[in-house]
Amino acid sequence: MMKIEDVLELVRPNIKQLTPYSSARDEYKGEVGIFLDANENSFGSPIDPCVNRYPDPLQTQVKKKLASIKNIYPDQIFLGNGSDESIDVLLRTFCKPGQDEVIILPPTYGMYEVAAKIHELQVKKILLDDTFQPDVTEILNQFNSNTRMIFFCSPNNPTGNLMDYDRIKIVLEKFKGIVVVDEAYIDYAKSSSWIQELKNYPHLVVLQTFSKAWGLAGIRAGMAFAHPQIITILNKVKMPYNVSSITQKYLLEAMNNQAFVEFAIQQTIQEKTHLIQRLQQFKSVKTIYPSDANFLLVKMNQADEVYQQLIEKKIIIRNRSRVEKCNNCLRITIGKPHENKALLEALSQIIN
Ligand SMILES: Cc1ncc(COP(=O)(O)O)c(C=O)c1O
């Protein structure tokens, strides 16, 4: 069983020793006063009157509200400029450039590899099996003393399936680095979150995002959930004002309107069922992979050509044909009813 002290040992020595940047807003946390500490424009801003001030660096109000929604404590939450920032900050915190290694499980979300390569890390790829589940035997065989992090994505992008609970659990039991479970699409899934396992595994980090079911991709906000001592270190490493005040304001508003999110999730799932039924009727469609997300991975004849012809009709989907294990596969985001209808009509003009 891993202890938090063991996890803290994984932090890069330079980060352990780092005295983080102390911002003006870190030093005085009150909301009332005459603020002459941060060289802001005291006369206001040409747009929203509140944006002349720097935002709360630790997003206190947002975390308080989010903690109540997720049933955890605010100090278990890191907020970033999208999950992409959380991924980047995790790598910067735990992985030594030019030396350490991360394991990714393709086909999966592309940023794990890109972010790792930006940090000059070795990227070990262990392909998912034919049911798009992690090959635990290979993972256990292949990690070594330089392996700092493993990325699971559940539900997985681009395949759409949840990763088997027990398989991730085995890795959590045996691997003594950081285990990241990216749950960007969890709100669409028939499964509970790995957040509930944080109390058992101090080396587990769960990622979620406001970009998908919450409908807030444009304001850039991602969540990482982990042991409070890990969160403290991530906060040391991040840019001081990484979540803008506009974003924080919108997040609070959004969290007060969860009914919309629930509605959109239900609509998406309903449309997904409908789209699956209709896609199955095309002879060219070979496999529609089971999806717990808001998209479908579809294997079909001549996927490249179908993709191109859809673009000519101004319908843009994602061609995943050249991704490992996704030969001839297209990834289709579930749209609104009229968008899905337009897609199906266009397909009926292109394929049988
Ligand atoms: C699995 C997964 N993780 C993370 C992200 C990025 O999310 P964000 O918009 O929060 O950076 C995506 C976006 O497509 C994704 O598919």
Domains of the chain, CATH where assigned: 4-256 (3.40.640.10), 259-350 (3.90.1150.10)
- Amino acid code (one letter) for 263: F
β-bridge mates for residue 204, sequence order: 179
| Cα 120 to chain centroid, rounded | 21
Asked if residue 151 lies in contact with residue 122, where contact means CB atoms within 8 angstroms, the answer is no
Two structure tokens written together for 45: 């801003």
Residue 187 and residue 292 in contact, taking contact as beta carbons nearer than 8 Å: no
Closest CA to 144 of 102, 115, 110: 102
What number of H helices and E strands is found in the chain?
A: 13, 11
Distance CA 232, CA 26 (A): 13
Which residue positions in the chain have pLDDT lower than 70?
Answer: none
Q: Tens digit of pLDDT for each residue in 230-285?
A: 999 999 999 999 999 999 999 999 999 999 999 999 999 999 999 999 999 999 99
The dihedral built from the CA positions of residue 193, 233, 16 and 5, taken in this order, carries a sign that is negative
Give residues with Cβ within 8 angstroms of 334, minimum separation 6.
268, 271, 272, 275, 294, 295, 296, 340
88 lines ligand 1 (CB under 6 A): no
Q: Which residues are paired to 27 by β-bridges?
A: none
CA distance 158 to 329: 10
Q: Write out the E strands in 45-164.
A: 77-80, 101-104, 122-125, 147-153
Residue 323, C-beta contacts closer than 8 angstroms, at least 6 positions apart = 106, 107, 158, 329
Q: Does 84 contact ligand 1 (Cβ within 6 A)? A: yes
Q: How many residues would you count in the chain? A: 352
Distance between Cα 102 and ligand 1 center (Å)? 18
What spacing in Å lies between the alpha carbon of 185 and ligand 1's midpoint? 9
Residue 183 beta carbon below 6 angstroms from any ligand 1 atom: no
Global pTM reads 0.97
pLDDT value, residue 336: 98
- Looking at residue 1, what is its pLDDT? 84
Distance CA 52, CA 40 (A): 6
> 84 C-alpha to center of ligand 1: Å?
6
Beta-sheet strand order (sheet of 77-80): 77-80, 222-225, 204-209, 178-182, 147-153, 101-104, 122-125
At residue 30, the pLDDT reads: 80
How confident is the model at residue 13, as a pLDDT? 97
Q: How far is the CA of 32 from the centre of ligand 1 (A)?
A: 37
pLDDT tens per residue, range 74-89:
999 999 999 999 999 9
